[in-house]
Amino acid sequence: MATTVTPLPEPLDPGAANRALAPRLGSGRLYLRRFARNRGALLGVALFVLLVLFSVFGSLFTRFAYTDADFAALTQPPSATHYFGTNQGGNDVYAEAVHGLQRSLVIAVSVSVLTIVLAAVIGAGAAYFGGRVEKLTLMVIHFLLVVPSFLILALISHHLAGDWRVLILVLTVFGWMSTARVVWSLSTSLRERDYVLAAEFMGVRPWRIVMRHIIPNLGSLLIVNLTLGVVATVLSETALSFLGFGVQTPDVSLGTMLADGSGTITSAPWLFGYPAALVVLLTVSMTLVGDGLRDAFDPTSTSAALRGRR
């Protein structure tokens, strides 16, 4: 009696469905569709939008400015007049929180964008030109990576009286190296691709090749690092301001509010609790968005695979 042998099914390719779907949807819509399936990422977007709206329009719901002092209500708990209470100088904590969040967001987003632009141009340019340019660039990157940047940041920002514009510049100067190292590593393979060689054969200028053919193909990496860079910058700015080396009075940031409230956690917990909650919400929201973007651009990542099994 003849036996029939049933062939084993072919192993499933996790990326086959995505590759088949990509021509119909387009890469942008496919990434957006993957991102929209991530509930954590959508929660992160919602939190971030609410924080931005609070920083922009929150001042409309109070008659106090962050510089106003109510000497009749010193270190008062939250009330109908002062929603988040007041500090030792009579300043409205709600007004300070709105302005402090706005200042921290401006610093974080500006630094993140500038560092990504610097890292992309320097890293991709070094990889494409090669030779002495590549060696010199890597030498500078490796040197800056071992320099105690936090100490230099503290000294420079403190010497310049904590101007937030200077803080953006200093954080940018010492924040691009790690991303540039990754960009350089990936760009060394891109410079050998057919479209780059074809552009060279057609006489396209070198920097135009870098900007038009190499950097755009690193878009997913740059977008994810841009998002996560906001988290790193918020933490750096908060740490510097908490230690007295960042934003200085009369200006306010979340870090300065945490520093002011750190000594009164038991007697006046609202001075520390509200800015701490804003910092936590901001970092959590951007982390969730960054994870969602990473999974959208790379469906074979570990977190995406774990969600797929549920």
pLDDT of residue 138: 92
- Quick one: how far is CA 144 from the chain centroid? 21
Residues 6+ apart with CB under 8 A from 14: 299, 300, 305, 308
CATH class of the structural domain 96-309: mainly alpha
Q: Give the C-alpha separation, 283 to 122, whole Å.
A: 28
pLDDT, tens digit (0-9, with 9 covering 90-100), for 109-166? 999 999 999 999 999 999 999 889 999 999 999 988 887 777 777 777 666 666 788 8
164, 247 contact by CB (below 8 A)? yes
Predicted TM-score (pTM) of this structure: 0.80
How confident is the model at residue 297, as a pLDDT?
A: 79
- With a pLDDT cut of 90, the percent of the chain lying above it is 29
pLDDT band at 13 (very low <50, low <70, confident <90, very high): very low
- Name the pLDDT band for 18 (thresholds 50, 70, 90): very low
Is the pLDDT assigned to residue 183 strictly greater than 90?
Answer: yes
Among residues 299, 308, 284, 296, the alpha carbon closest in space to that of 51 is found at: 284
In tens, the pLDDT along 27-77 reads 678 878 888 888 999 999 999 999 999 999 998 998 888 888 888 888 889
